[in-house]
Chain A
């Protein structure tokens, strides 16, 4: 497994069943609301601590097997350096429980969506296709919402990204009739194509790069018992939870209309539309329907 910002989406999709070519976003059908008798919310969070995303080395390209072996060695050295660099931040956050912070915010946001009738919320640490399949099969609720979360620092240590990948699966006949499962007799059910609702939501914030590079930047995140990172992760959990609660209630037409009325923005080179803002930042909708909440530091030229 590679920790890669864009790859996380692919990975989580794969974990929820299989590699898929379905669009990352599908709005929840309004007609399905009154068929939801209850919703179980399962939060797969694989990681135990924050990590630094290390992009895979490509320097050995063109040199065959030897080049690839060299890249593996270089990857290992770079991964070791990144792990050493992030250690002070992990130490500063050792008593901070992202899982609980996230679960609390998700609970607050989704219990306020009346038609979901969400009462059961739990974090799942072992994240595999089998474990998600089993969670869906074992659920007694009419719908199961998986919200996989991941958070990491960029390789330079300046950008914090928290990402949710959400899939709501039907689990009663009334809901399944709206979207009959696509599977063969032995195939998995918890695959993106079978989700009544799905989307990817990100939170991004940036601090200035320190003159002495990644170590100095991570020292800024770590200062005062990790105050800056605690605040950022807390805000990430709050903003993403609220964004999810709003998005799951938004029709495809409303989402598209909001994007049309928005203003063009570019986040890390990717174009999107600003569709809302508050004192902390801006909500961005991308062309594929995925959403992001970005702080002003991400919008700076």
Chain B
């Protein structure tokens, strides 16, 4: 079988031409989570579950490092702010109202356990893992771990690709968090 390494090289060169040149610069992620387009949520019409955000922590040994794609390192400007803005989006689709004071139905705190994007052959994979702790009027529920993932082709190892992959992975984890919060609220005190 003939090797098509030269053709792959051409593809790489083509990618580099499209991006300007070989880019060794780090990808710096925004501290603001950008959620994918939202769909209609039946829970939006239910009585709102009032959630107060508690402590948000990045438990990783290196809170800046978010992996790498095609040799480009990916760094978080502020991983805790990114996660917090993601959790704040839980109130976006109805069913959940985020409150800062008063008597919430649930208090939620979260730890970021994993958050990275990596290359796998010519594709890329992003993973975000959260440990979420909730309590209702001082009574704690068991901690829950949620993983969100995103896989797709690695086109040009661009900033938007890395940002988008991690946002989608976080979004997938948040969908699970949201489902469990609504369930807890529906179960009542």
Contacts and interface: CB of A to CB of B under 8 A. Distances in A.
A286 interface: no
A90 B127 contact: yes
Contact of B114 (A49, A54, A63): A49
A234 interface: no
Interface in B129-157: 129, 145, 147, 149, 151-153
B30 interface: no
Contacts of B123: 75-76, 79-80
Given A61-B3, A62-B1, A69 B11 contact: yes
A48 B73 contact: no
A3 B127 contact: no
A137 to B, nearest CB: 18
A79 B151 contact: yes
Given A3-B120, A75-B123, A83 B149 contact: yes
Q: How large is the interface on B (under 10, 10 to 19, 20 to 34, 35 or more residues)?
A: 35 or more
A87 B113 CA distance: 15
Nearest to B12: A68
B147 A65 contact: no
Nearest to A91: B147
A46 B121 contact: no
A78 B121 contact: yes
B53 to A, nearest CB: 22
A62 B73 CA distance: 33
A64 interface: yes
Interface stretch (B37-45, B57-65, B101-109, B179-187): B57-65
B61 A91 contact: no
A71 interface: yes
B95 interface: no
Contacts of A131: 73
Contacts of B84: none
B54 interface: no
B151 to A, nearest CB: 4
Interface stretch (A121-129, A162-170, A275-283): A121-129
B86 interface: no
A72 interface: yes
B10 A65 contact: yes
Contacts of A68: 4, 7-8, 10-11
A97 B68 CA distance: 19
- Max count, chain B CB within 10 A of own CB: residue among A48, A68, A130: A48
Contact of A48 (B4, B116, B121, B122): B116
A65 B119 contact: no
A71 to B, nearest CB: 7
Given A1-B71, A68-B4, A75-B121, A125 B113 contact: no
Interface of A: 1-3, 46-49, 51, 54-58, 60-65, 67-69, 71-73, 75-76, 78-80, 82-84, 87, 90-91, 94, 99, 123, 125-128, 130-131
24 contacts: A1-B118, A1-B119, A3-B119, A3-B121, A46-B68, A49-B127, A60-B4, A62-B2, A63-B4, A67-B7, A68-B4, A68-B7, A68-B10, A68-B11, A72-B122, A78-B121, A79-B121, A83-B125, A84-B151, A94-B145, A125-B62, A126-B65, A130-B24, A131-B73
Given A65-B11, A128-B68, 20 more contacts: A1-B70, A1-B119, A3-B119, A46-B67, A46-B68, A47-B116, A48-B67, A58-B4, A61-B3, A62-B1, A72-B11, A72-B153, A73-B153, A79-B122, A80-B123, A91-B147, A126-B73, A127-B68, A128-B24, A130-B24
